[in-house]
Amino acid sequence: MSTVTVPRRGWPAVLEQELRDLWIGGRGLALGVAFSILMSVVAYLVATNRGLNFLEHRETVNLALQVAVAVGALLALLAGADAVSGERERGTLESLLLSPVSRLGLTGGKLVAALSLWAAAFAITVPYVWFLGRGVGVVGDSLATGAVVGTLLAVSLASLGVLISVFAVSNRVSLSLSLFALLALFVPTQLPSGAQKGWLGEGLLRIDPITAGEHYVGRIVVDGRGWTEDVSWLLSPMIAAVVLTTVALGAGSRLRLAGGVAG
């Protein structure tokens, strides 16, 4: 009988391959280009509006940053939603499950790879924020706030995508449910401004990690508040990131070939 070493930490190999699949000949590059075009359009529009005095200087930066955070997190969600159900649909999941790498390692590697889309989106955002924020001393704070809030939201949404993907029997179901969940999270932003006030309205904004995170970005970038002054708005993005990551990895560690988790 042969002597075989069982790899205890196989996730780096999974991560490496996932990054290759995503960025070399995969969708990562195309999504990056599409994101750049979107940011260019947004930057052009907000810069034009500023030129016409429709928007304050700081508001242009805030608007561009909020779009970058929302779309960057959306990309992470989509990559997460494809992580397991995509393999299941292509028939490649069984061969991965047949390796000695733990299911937690497989899911973890895929989750981290999904976050690379957010990292790339943020890197693309940097020059736009610099361009829009020149002269008002807001670039550093904007980028730092965007990085923190965006990362928390990207981790939350990528985990949500992976969680749905673990249970979904098809990729279409996984992507549809993930997008539906994302739209539901954006609902509070569409409420009339009157409904966003009062304890119920503010409570809703605070509970929803996306609205709470974007509200926090606005407070720092537009209102020039300190990092710690409104930190309570970061509570729900942080809780969402921790809880969703834990649940997604927990479900992933028991994922089944046919969908769902082992009892």
Partner 1 sequence: MSAAVEARGVGRRYGSVVAVEDLSFAVEAGEILGVLGPNGAGKTTAIRVLTTILAPTWGTFTVTGIPFSRPADIRARIGVLPESGGYPERQTGGEYLRYHARLFGRSRADSRAIADELLAEVGLHERRRSLIGGYSRGMRQRLGIARALVNRPDVVFLDEPTLGLDPAGQRQMLETVRRIARERGACVLLSTHLLAEVEETCSRILILNRGRVVADGTVAEITRSAAAPRSATLRVAPGHAERAGALLRAVEGIHDVEVPQDQSGLLAVTFDRNGEVSVNEALVALTRRGLPILSFELEGARLSDAFLAMTEAV
> Applying CB under 8 A, which residues contact partner 1?
1-2, 4-7, 10, 13-14, 16-17, 20-21, 25-26, 90-92, 94-102, 257, 262
Between 87 and 208, whose beta carbon lies closer to partner 1?
87
CA distance 102 to 86: 19
Between 57 and 254, whose beta carbon lies closer to partner 1?
254
**What is the nearest approach in angstroms of partner 1 to the Cβ of residue 109?**
10
**What is the nearest approach in angstroms of partner 1 to the Cβ of residue 12?**
9
**Cross-strand bridge partners of residue 261:** 255
Between 52 and 98, whose beta carbon lies closer to partner 1?
98
**What is the nearest approach in angstroms of partner 1 to the Cβ of residue 248?**
21
Q: Are 74 and 183 in contact (CB under 8 A)?
A: no
Q: Which amino acid is at 163?
A: L
Q: Which helix (H) or strand (E) holds 189?
A: none
- CA dist 182 → 12, 70, 113, 211, 240 (Å): 29, 10, 20, 12, 13
Between 5 and 190, whose beta carbon lies closer to partner 1?
5
**What is the nearest approach in angstroms of partner 1 to the Cβ of residue 257?**
6
* Start-to-end C-alpha separation, the chain: 33
**Cross-strand bridge partners of residue 255:** 261
**What is the nearest approach in angstroms of partner 1 to the Cβ of residue 25?**
6
CA distance 96 to 103: 9
Between 50 and 103, whose beta carbon lies closer to partner 1?
103
